[in-house]
């Protein structure tokens, strides 16, 4: 009789084990399903976003790409930048152009540069605009201008970050 009672308890325990196992399985399944639904929702939203903004996306990516100059090596990159800056300075009637780089502070994607030049004070505004448009990979950190109020000429000292990406297949511009 005691065995009978024990057997009944074992059967009941086994029966109750099934709901527990099923509950555990269901909870896991719900969590997985929720994650899948979330993922699918993200996919759906991505898809919708893609459909509505594909033109804008390419513009933003192009703009982002322009913020770093693809170069074969840092030295080639610096040479290219120096040439560009000299050309730009000459275009805006600046002279005494001198560029310095600080190799110790170079990282994988940027290196600091310092540019010195002299010229008419009013020339700096179009120069900066052209710099922003044509050389967006140069990020200005610091600008120091010393002017002579009577001659209206100024000395300029600009510190940049030259942002680049090392890319073997690309020729420096």
Site mask for other proteins (CB under 8 A), range 16-35, x = bound:
x-xx--xx-xx--xx-xx--
Rg (CA), the chain: 33
Size of the site for other proteins (CB under 8 A): 51
Of 12, 79, 87, 170, which lies in the binding site for other proteins, with binding defined by CB under 8 A? Answer: 12
Query: Rounded to the nearest whole angstrom, what is the least distance from the CB of residue 56 to other proteins in the complex?
Result: 9
Question: Can you tell me which of 44, 75, 91, 93 binds other proteins, judged by CB under 8 A?
Answer: 44
- Please tell me the distance from the alpha carbon of residue 29 to that of residue 119, in angstroms, as a whole number: 72
List the structure tokens of 135: 């050389």
What is the three-class DSSP state of 70?
A: strand
Of 75, 91, 93, 142, which one interacts with other proteins (CB under 8 A)?
142
**Which token pair is 33?**
């399903």
Residue 172's nearest CA partner among 68, 63, 60 is 68
Beta strands in the chain (DSSP E): 69-71, 95-101, 110-120, 138-148, 153-166
Is residue 122 within 8 Å of 51, Cβ to Cβ? no
Please choose, out of 77-85, 101-109, 144-152, 165-173, the segment that lies near other proteins by the rule CB under 8 A. 144-152
Which stretch in 38-46, 71-79, 82-90, 91-99 sits in contact with other proteins by CB under 8 A? 38-46
137: phi then psi, degrees, rounded to nearest 5: -75, -5
Q: With respect to other proteins, which residue has the nearer C-beta, 23 or 73? A: 23
Cα separation of 57 and 165, whole Å? 21
Q: Tell me if 133 contacts other proteins by CB under 8 A.
A: no
Binding site residues, other proteins, CB under 8 A:
1-2, 4-5, 8-9, 11-12, 15-16, 18-19, 22-23, 25-26, 29-30, 32-33, 36-37, 40, 43-44, 46-47, 49-50, 57, 60-61, 63-64, 67, 124-125, 128-129, 132, 139-149
């Amino acid at each position: 009789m005691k065995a009978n009672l024990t057997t009944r308890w074992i059967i009941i325990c086994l029966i109750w084990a099934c709901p527990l196992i099923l509950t555990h399985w269901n909870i896991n399944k719900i969590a997985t399903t929720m994650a899948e639904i979330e993922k699918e929702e993200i996919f759906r939203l991505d898809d919708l976003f893609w459909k509505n903004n594909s033109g804008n996306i390419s513009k933003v990516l192009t703009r982002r790409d322009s913020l770093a100059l693809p170069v074969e090596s840092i030295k080639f990159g610096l040479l290219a930048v120096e040439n560009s800056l000299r050309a730009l300075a000459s275009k805006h009637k600046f002279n005494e152009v001198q560029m310095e780089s600080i190799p110790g502070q170079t990282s994988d994607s940027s290196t600091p540069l310092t540019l010195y030049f002299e010229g008419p004070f009013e020339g700096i505004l179009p120069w900066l605009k052209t710099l922003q448009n044509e050389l967006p990979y140069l990020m200005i950190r610091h600008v120091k201008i010393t002017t002579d109020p009577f001659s209206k000429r100024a000395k300029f000292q600009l510190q940049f970050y030259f942002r680049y990406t090392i890319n073997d297949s690309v020729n420096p511009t």
